[in-house]
Structure 1
């Protein structure tokens, strides 16, 4: 045991440097997966992101120690003191994941202070142990320090550009030259959609920073956006993909080094660092290495070659395959290079192909039945569901409180469905209805759900959480009574169920996006569960027949509000229920804060963010400078607003 401990002490710095390098490789190849919502890797990426910096900083601290181990390290492994600049390169992070969360961008000044401290420490270690005893490593070490300092500085610059407050005031003159002022006609191609997305990128930055369309400076082509927003319904068919591309651009600007690499200073710094590292490698190769440990020399070569390989791949992914590069070449009329660049941009492996979504394209699912321990669609349970059931039983057996049961249900019962064409078309259709019904025109009539919605609308603004829960319960009951197996009816049932469960999912997992505090949402949901369980009495919900649970749920809802009575299920009722949930989600999107949408982009983006930006394109919602009100009649918001919208009109 003592010999193993001594062996670990002798090779500790080598293991730390290799671990730091391995973590950088992992972050490089997994960082881009977050853009499309890699839920299963999110926790691992977060741990690697934090540990990578800790390992590099600890390795620098270990090299600066003044004790017997440091003396032995100097004698046996002098080449280890040539590695501090490589650790600075590792601290500079990878181009595919500069920030893990929005808070990292806000704290860019703290990263700047860390940069100064770590560079001073690395220079101290290098000058003390290399300059006097290993003079032949002095010159290549200086060049590597230039590369390391620049690399670390790039990360700080990227965090600064990714800060929403800096995004809102940042105007890149090079980007303004790329604006194509595209208009999307009926036959708009994917390339024209990308052009328009790049053209509107500065406006998207302002929207995510909390600006309204009428607060955006004219220099950011707000006129182009406004003219597009007021155009006819032809572009609505292309709007879904346009929003998808814009979300992809926004993610790259906030959470990667894309915005920094588009600047002239960023390109100069990147070229300088690569040339410096290449000169250092050449000087190291021609130098005398016989006096150094072979393992240390091999590790040094591995650090050199690994750094070059990651940089080449990063430049390929972030620059060569970037739509900005394609637009830059197109603006300069480089026809052949433009074709090559577009081939790279639209490829299916590392590019942005038309059929591949640039966000998670998932919609979270949660419902009240899951919280009380019953499945909405009874079937033979899978292995994971059996594990969930056993976990609940164990939690109840050990006397877990309501808070722990709520947390357990939130973790185990939340599921995800793909956002299919039926869902997106439901929102596009409703937006078209709104745009075609200006102020003073014909109001929306709810022929089948008017009495039901009137009772709900009374407390919509007072207790939004309770309304969502009651609507979710009502939807579960109503959909369970649908007996038709017609394909169209089945599609309507699927859309209603997904939209209903999605609002419950947001209430449980991301209540801040609904302007609801987590404590109030939890207390309201726990209150509903407690009342339902008291009414159910001694019945074991998890072991009861599904029909019995639904009957109890129906009785519970009628006791909560006797006015809540749904009509008989039919196609027209299901269509109104779908439209009801569409407008509820649009209402929630209009009330949400822009910074919450920017935060969710780090996790692949939320469907509510997609709807929020979709509405902004058509001058709807808070981002368009006026609210969507579900209850009160429309009012005048100014001469520039020609769209008036409220969901429920019962006169």
Structure 2
């Protein structure tokens, strides 16, 4: 054991340098997976993101404490030459510069770290014999140039990703490169990408909390909304437009994309790569004079050289050559037709690009059920093992946390669900832009009018309780549907997804609903305690007897609101229930804050963010009526000028 510790102490620096390099490789190839919601890797990426900086800084500190004489006796003089490589590692990878939105806000702290750690690396290099050895001094200088630029790029990317820096990476005079007339005439995927790039500054302003009328005229915000409101924009085209805009926004906030599409960013990157290649050539030329170095050290040095250059070239290919911005630049500047076509093939590639059929966010809806929270699925009893785990969790006081972990499922956002929102939002905001009108044809609730009217006035006052009541009502209603018609089954599926999704947001993402986590948990626990009491009083055990479960759910609903009553299940009722949930989610999106949507992009994005941006395209206004006017909209509205839309009415 003693010899093992001695061996580790002798090779500690080498192992730490290699560990730092391995972490960079891992972050490079997994960073972009967050864009599409790789939840199984999220925790691992987070740990690697934090540990990577700690390992690099610790290694620099360890090198600064090493005595040159001791190191030379152990035949490891090249260890001091690795200091600039650690700066490159601290510069991070192009695919992940910020793990969360808060990292961008702290870009000044990273700038201070840059200064301190560059000074530390220079001190490490100065205290060694490397600066007196021309064979190491010259390549070391070039590597320091590459390392400082790399670290500076990360700081610049964090500054650009800070939403408060609104104009960062965009020039209003250069925006609107592609004419909207061209987009109206062309329904191809390329026109969608063109318009998405053109609208990127507008979307950034929206995520920063600006309203459409607060956006500078140079960004053509009004034309942006007029295009989205056009009848020529099909449902699928508008949905894909929002999808691409979210993809662009993710890259701008959490990667180095905003830096690498600027002229000075490209120049710095080229300088960095040329410096690294020159350093490699000079080190190789002087390799025959480095025979006194340890072979392991030489091998590690070449690994660092080749590995860093490989990652740089891969990054340039992925972030620049396959970037839609590069294709747009080639097209605008009327470059070679062959080169432009080749660039578009790379951009639309199914493997490495932004393909039309592949979503640029997770495309998933979280699902959470009230019956799962109380320990009975209704359709499928919980296992004895799971019930045992829940009882143990209840004893130690972590039942709610464990329930969120075990009971949260995810469903794909299918075409039917997306079309339901696009069509309903289009119908809701069918009035001409900026016109003071009640807008559109009044929504007729032939089957759910009484049910909706009884809950409409509570939406603003006790949103959490209303969501739970509507969810329970939906569970009861869907359990009574007996038709096996294809359309009916599809409607049941959509209603169930939307109902479970709102419960998921209430339980796991209450901040997006402008609800505190404490109040949401309190309301949910109140419903659970009442339900468990009813089940116990009726002599039924949790997890069994589905008929008893449904009966107690009905009693619970009547106890909470005696005026609630659902009509007989039929296809028309299901359609209205689907529209009801659509409008509830639209109302929730209207209450949400832009910064919460930007935060969720780092986790794959939320469906609520998709709806929020879709509503912005439709130019929703906060001057519309409150949810009290669920059935009968008011006679007039003010101009729809605010996309933060903190109030919303269920009108058509």
With normalisation by structure 2, the TM-score equals 0.94
Q: What is the root-mean-square deviation of aligned Cα atoms in Å?
A: 2.2
Q: How far, CA to CA, are the matches of 1:642 and 1:71 in structure 2? A: 68
Return the match for 2:429 from 429, 435, 441: 435
Per the alignment, residue 280 of structure 2 pairs with 281
Q: How far, CA to CA, are the matches of 1:174 and 1:275 in structure 2? A: 32
Shift of 1:435: 3.2
- Unaligned stretches of 5+ residues in structure 2: 432-436
Q: How far, CA to CA, are the matches of 2:417 and 2:625 in structure 1? A: 20
Per the alignment, residue 394 of structure 1 pairs with 392
**Mean Cα deviation higher: 218-227 or 410-419:** 218-227
Per the alignment, residue 631 of structure 1 pairs with 628
Instruction: Check conservation: 1:591, 1:627, Cα contact below 8 A.
Output: no
Per the alignment, residue 434 of structure 2 pairs with none
Q: How far, CA to CA, are the matches of 1:278 and 1:213 in structure 2? A: 47
Per the alignment, residue 50 of structure 2 pairs with 50
Counterparts of residues 534-573 of structure 1 (less than 5 Å)? 534-537=533-536, 539=539, 541-573=541-573
CA-to-partner distance for each residue in 1:540-572, whole Å, 9 max, x for gaps? 644322222111111111121111110110011
CA-to-partner distance for each residue in 1:589-629, whole Å, 9 max, x for gaps? 0110000000000001000000000111111255xxx4563
Per the alignment, residue 40 of structure 1 pairs with 40
Shift of 1:303: 0.3
Shift of 1:494: 0.2
Per the alignment, residue 27 of structure 2 pairs with 27
Q: How far, CA to CA, are the matches of 2:267 and 2:47 in structure 1? A: 32
Instruction: Check conservation: 2:621, 2:640, Cα contact below 8 A.
Output: no
State yes or no: 1:317 paired with 2:314: no
Q: How far, CA to CA, are the matches of 1:636 and 1:108 in structure 2? A: 46
Q: How far, CA to CA, are the matches of 2:628 and 2:606 in structure 1? A: 26
SS at match of 1:64: helix
State yes or no: 1:585 paired with 2:585: yes
With over 3 angstroms needed to count, the CA separation of the structure-2 counterparts of 1:386 and 1:321, relative to structure 1, is farther
Shift of 1:436: 3.5
Shift of 1:631: 1.7
Instruction: Check conservation: 1:590, 1:627, Cα contact below 8 A.
Output: no
SS at match of 1:114: helix
Q: How far, CA to CA, are the matches of 1:123 and 1:182 in structure 2? A: 56
Shift of 1:238: 1.1
State yes or no: 1:147 paired with 2:111: no
Instruction: Check conservation: 2:246, 2:361, Cα contact below 8 A.
Output: yes
State yes or no: 1:425 paired with 2:424: no
Shift of 1:638: 4.1
With over 3 angstroms needed to count, the CA separation of the structure-2 counterparts of 1:531 and 1:191, relative to structure 1, is same
Instruction: Check conservation: 1:183, 1:228, Cα contact below 8 A.
Output: no
CA-to-partner distance for each residue in 1:21-65, whole Å, 9 max, x for gaps? 000000000000000000100000000000000000000000011
Counterparts of residues 56-67 of structure 1 (less than 5 Å)? 56-65=56-65
Counterparts of residues 203-602 of structure 1 (less than 5 Å)? 203-232=202-231, 234-287=233-286, 288-334=289-335, 335-378=337-380, 388-396=386-394, 399-401=395-397, 404-436=398-430, 439=438, 441-537=440-536, 539=539, 541-602=541-602
Instruction: Check conservation: 2:260, 2:320, Cα contact below 8 A.
Output: yes
Q: How far, CA to CA, are the matches of 1:272 and 1:635 in structure 2? A: 63
Q: How far, CA to CA, are the matches of 1:596 and 1:635 in structure 2? A: 33
Q: How far, CA to CA, are the matches of 1:225 and 1:593 in structure 2? A: 21
- Unaligned stretches of 5+ residues in structure 1: none
SS at match of 1:354: coil
With over 3 angstroms needed to count, the CA separation of the structure-2 counterparts of 1:440 and 1:364, relative to structure 1, is closer
Shift of 1:386: 7.0
Q: How far, CA to CA, are the matches of 1:581 and 1:234 in structure 2? A: 24
Shift of 1:636: 5.4
Shift of 1:490: 0.4
Q: How far, CA to CA, are the matches of 1:49 and 1:88 in structure 2? A: 15
**Mean Cα deviation higher: 11-20 or 368-377:** 368-377
